[in-house]
């Protein structure tokens, strides 16, 4: 592959994908390198244990790949720990002065793509745990004007109906549903079924669909464990009942009920088809007993905490202790009087 370096190019953009079959690790990454300093301006990466991530082409325009990675992260369609580990590895790889960023830049400048891939593969062996990891990269060169045009286009699009506005709209809708102060609302992603699925606007209240809880937050990770929603450290789909579906501009917002007091929220840009829940295919272990045990434990903790008792309860608990103390004191006094009489 020969790289066409424009004479006025300000940035070299590396678009890549990798697969590490031994650890079922797959991912996409994009790197913007400054052609003057030969250092990295910025980079982004997403990794997953699903091969569908690797199926994305590296021949797409750089800005589309950057948007794709951001969208997949927003939806929670990635392996958090693996992604973070690779990001940390990239920090070492492109650390100015000690990393191999300049070597990668020179290899690409000389059209030595295989050499550039080999350097990145060497670094990614550790976080992926696969010595046979394979990387493919594509390269674009742009000037600062091209970068500015993409930035303006994104701002124009987000100005019409931004993701942040859509999220705010969903939050308001959640409040209007009176879910209660103790309700938990988790970010979830939808399980799509383009052929046999049901579209978002065809869903009705009570329909059961499949969702995946986002593991980006500690709260999400807690409920993933509680609901047995993972296999081999990978989040798996769980059933949820549809509460409400609304459309705001080009965005569709969905609120589902996962369990008592636990809800899921998802925002989509298209009227996608989602997969309905089939109980016969649910391989999770029943966790109802565990949830009931937690409720009982909470009640027991409240009962054991004096601050949780009302004054009457506290008085009732203290009275038996007072009676016992008086009885022991009276008995001791009686023994003392008998001894005085005997020895006087």
> Is the pLDDT confidence value at 170 over 70?
no
CA distances (Å), 272 to each of 21, 142, 170, 253, 292, in order?
30, 34, 18, 11, 35
The DSSP secondary-structure symbol of 202 reads: G
Q: How far apart are CA 272 and CA 74, in angstroms?
A: 16
DSSP states along 260-298: TTEEEEEEESS--EEPBP-GGG--PPP-HHHHHHHHHHH
pLDDT attached to residue 256: 94
Does residue 225 carry a pLDDT above 90?
A: no
Among candidates 281, 218, 226, which has minimal Cα distance to 258? 226
Q: Measured between alpha carbons, how far is 307 from 320 in angstroms, rounded to an integer?
A: 19
pLDDT of residue 243: 94
How confident is the model over 275-280, as a mean pLDDT? Answer: 88
| Inter-helix orientation angle 101-109/113-128, to 10° | 150
More confident residue, 332 or 26: 26
Q: Which residue has the higher pLDDT, 175 or 274?
A: 274
284: Cβ contacts below 8 Å, ≥ 6 apart: 227, 228, 229, 236, 238
Residues 131 and 18: their CA atoms lie apart, in Å, by 12
pLDDT band at 104 (very low <50, low <70, confident <90, very high): very high
- C-alpha 96/C-alpha 38 separation (Å) is 9
Mean pLDDT value of segment 53-70: 91
* pLDDT tens-digit series, residues 283-307: 766 554 445 445 444 444 444 444 4
Do 47 and 159 touch, CB atoms closer than 8 A? no
Helices (H), ranges, the chain: 62-75, 80-93, 101-109, 113-128, 144-160, 163-176, 218-226, 288-304, 311-343
CA angle 223, 225, 229 (to 5 degrees): 90
Please determine, for residue 163, whether its predicted confidence score (pLDDT) is greater than 90. no
Q: State residue 325's pLDDT score.
A: 66
R_g (Cα) of the chain, nearest Å? 30
Q: What is residue 150's predicted lDDT score, i.e. its pLDDT?
A: 85
- Percent of the chain at pLDDT > 70 equals 76
Would you state the pLDDT for residue 322? 62
pTM as predicted: 0.50
**In this structure, are strands 198-199 and 273-274 parallel, antiparallel, or unpaired?**
antiparallel
pLDDT of 185 over the 90 cut: no
Residue 215 near residue 80, CB atoms below 8 Å: yes
Could you report the per-residue pLDDT of 146-160, keeping only the tens digit for each? 888 888 887 666 444
Q: Which comes out higher in pLDDT, residue 71 or 265? A: 265
pLDDT confidence band for 247 (50 / 70 / 90):
confident
- Look at residue 43 and give its three-state secondary structure: strand
> Which of 33-42, 73-82, 324-333 is predicted with the least confidence, judged by mean pLDDT?
324-333
Tally of CB atoms within 10 A around 81 = 11
Over residues 111-127, the pLDDT tens digits come to 999 999 999 999 999 99
Residue 94's CB is within 10 A of a number of other CB atoms, namely: 22
Rounded-to-10 torsion of CA 214, 219, 223, 224: 40
Q: Identify the band that residue 13 occupies on the pLDDT scale cut at 50, 70 and 90.
A: very high
**Rounded Cα gap, residues 338 and 336, in angstroms:** 6
Question: Is residue 103's pLDDT more than 70?
Answer: yes
What band does 248 get if pLDDT is binned at 50, 70 and 90?
confident
Band of pLDDT at residue 323, cut at 50, 70 and 90: low
Mean pLDDT of the chain: 79
């Amino acid at each position: 592959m020969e790289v066409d370096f424009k004479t006025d190019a300000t940035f070299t953009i590396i678009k890549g994908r990798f697969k590490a079959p031994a650890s079922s690790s797959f991912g996409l990454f994009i790197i913007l390198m400054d052609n003057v300093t030969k250092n990295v301006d910025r980079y982004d990466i997403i990794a997953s244990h699903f091969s569908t991530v690797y199926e994305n082409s590296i021949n797409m325009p750089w800005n589309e790949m950057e948007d794709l990675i951001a969208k997949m992260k927003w939806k929670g369609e990635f392996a958090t720990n693996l992604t973070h580990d690779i990001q940390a590895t990239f920090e070492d790889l492109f650390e100015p002065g000690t990393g191999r960023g300049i070597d990668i830049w020179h290899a690409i400048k000389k059209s030595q793509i295989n050499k550039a891939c080999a350097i990145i593969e060497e670094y990614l062996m550790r976080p992926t745990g696969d010595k046979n990891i394979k990387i493919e990269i594509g390269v674009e060169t742009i000037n600062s004007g091209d970068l500015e045009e993409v930035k303006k286009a994104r701002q124009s699009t987000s100005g019409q109906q931004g993701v942040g506005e859509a999220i705010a709209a969903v939050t308001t809708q959640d409040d209007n549903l009176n879910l209660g102060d103790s309700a938990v609302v988790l970010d979830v992603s939808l399980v799509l079924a383009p052929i046999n699925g049901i579209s978002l606007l065809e869903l009705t209240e009570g329909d059961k669909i499949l969702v995946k809880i986002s593991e980006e937050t500690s709260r999400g990770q807690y409920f993933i464990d509680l609901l047995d929603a993972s296999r081999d450290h990978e989040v798996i789909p769980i059933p949820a009942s549809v509460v409400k579906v609304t459309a705001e501009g080009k965005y569709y917002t969905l609120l589902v009920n996962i369990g008592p007091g636990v809800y899921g929220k998802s925002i989509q840009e298209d009227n996608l088809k989602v997969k309905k829940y089939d109980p016969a295919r649910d391989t999770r272990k029943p966790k109802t007993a565990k949830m009931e045990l937690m409720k009982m434990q909470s009640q027991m903790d409240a009962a054991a905490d004096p601050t949780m008792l009302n004054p009457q309860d506290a008085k009732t608990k203290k009275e038996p202790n007072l009676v016992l103390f008086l009885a022991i004191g009276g008995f001791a006094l009686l023994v003392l009087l008998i001894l005085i009489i005997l020895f006087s």
